Amino acid sequence: MNLRTKVWIFILLITVFFSCETAPTEKRTESRTQSGTERKKQSISVSKDTEVAVEYDYNTDDWEEISFADDSILLDLRYAQTNNFVKKKLYNCPRCFLRPDIAGKLNSVNNDLMKKGYKLKVYDCYRPKPVQEELWKIMPDEDYVAAPWKGSMHNRGIAVDLTIADKNNKELDMGTPFDFFGEEAHFTYTDFPPQVLVNRQLLKSTMEKYGFQSIRTEWWHYSVSTRSYPISEWQWQCN
Ligand SMILES: [Zn+2]
């Protein structure tokens, strides 16, 4: 059950409770202020005395945070750690954002995998353009990093790097680690134990079932390009 569902169940229970005493009035207000970052507040009144407020520190028209969309998806955001191919921490804190329609599709993929005893583990999501520029300074090689002036699918919030974990949160063997730049990471490389190929196929077929597309050279990278989104400069807040 995702967090949003839990919030709605909570609201529903309060509504039922108060309906015994007062006739509930329901209204939804949305306000947004500009103060360095866009902030959106949704407050839901279930009676004149009760209000449940969910406050976001990002613009929910543009973004959805994966931990809010589906809190069972594991996050191992490598650019918020030094455990990545440039050995540098590029995000101040580990938060995973995608465009809302893409986040919804990822939620569907995870629900599908959970029926089989698996779940998604995410390595990278939306990557702000300033971070792409930082990455380019460290590794100015288009074989490894998209040039910031062209931008990558990650800079548009429509790509995600991920793998599958089992019920003990252990990653399935995909043959190579994330961000392994060599032909072993290609889908065309098949000199692996059969289980590795089965694992890669499970990820690919489930992602494709919900509209994601793979690329030939990185088993972990998926994107959706049915709608065009601009490259974004927006950077999330850290508490
Ligand atoms: Zn990627």
The 10s digit of each residue's pLDDT in 213-227 is 999 999 999 999 888
31 CA → ligand 1 middle, Å? 34
Higher pLDDT: 22 or 81? It is 81
How far away, in angstroms, is 127 Cα from ligand 1 center?
Answer: 9
Is the pLDDT score of 37 beyond 90?
no
Instruction: State the distance from the centre of ligand 1 to the C-alpha of 159, rounded, in angstroms.
Output: 6
Alpha helices per DSSP H over 117-222: 129-138, 194-209
pTM: 0.80
Which pLDDT value is given to residue 18?
45
- Output phi, psi for 207, to 5 deg: -65, -45
Distance 87 CA to ligand 1 centre (A): 17
Question: In the structure, what pLDDT confidence band is assigned to residue 98 with cuts at 50, 70 and 90?
Answer: very high
pLDDT band with cut points at 50, 70 and 90 for residue 111: very high
Nearest to 186 by CA among 219, 163, 212: 219
Q: Indicate the domain borders of the chain.
A: 3-56, 64-223
For residue 59, report the distance from its CA to the centre of ligand 1, in Å: 23
pLDDT of the residue at 216: 93
Quote the pLDDT of residue 190: 96
| End-to-end alpha carbon distance in the chain | 25
Q: What is the mean pLDDT of residues 170-185?
A: 96
Q: Quote the crossing angle between the two packed helices 100-115 and 194-209, to the nearest 10°.
A: 130
What's the CA-to-centroid distance between 183 and ligand 1, angstroms? 16
User: Tell me, what's the pLDDT at 231?
Assistant: 96
**Which CATH architecture is the domain 64-223 placed in?**
2-Layer Sandwich (3.30)
CA of 84 to the centre of ligand 1 (A): 13
Q: How far is the CA of 117 from the centre of ligand 1 (A)?
A: 25
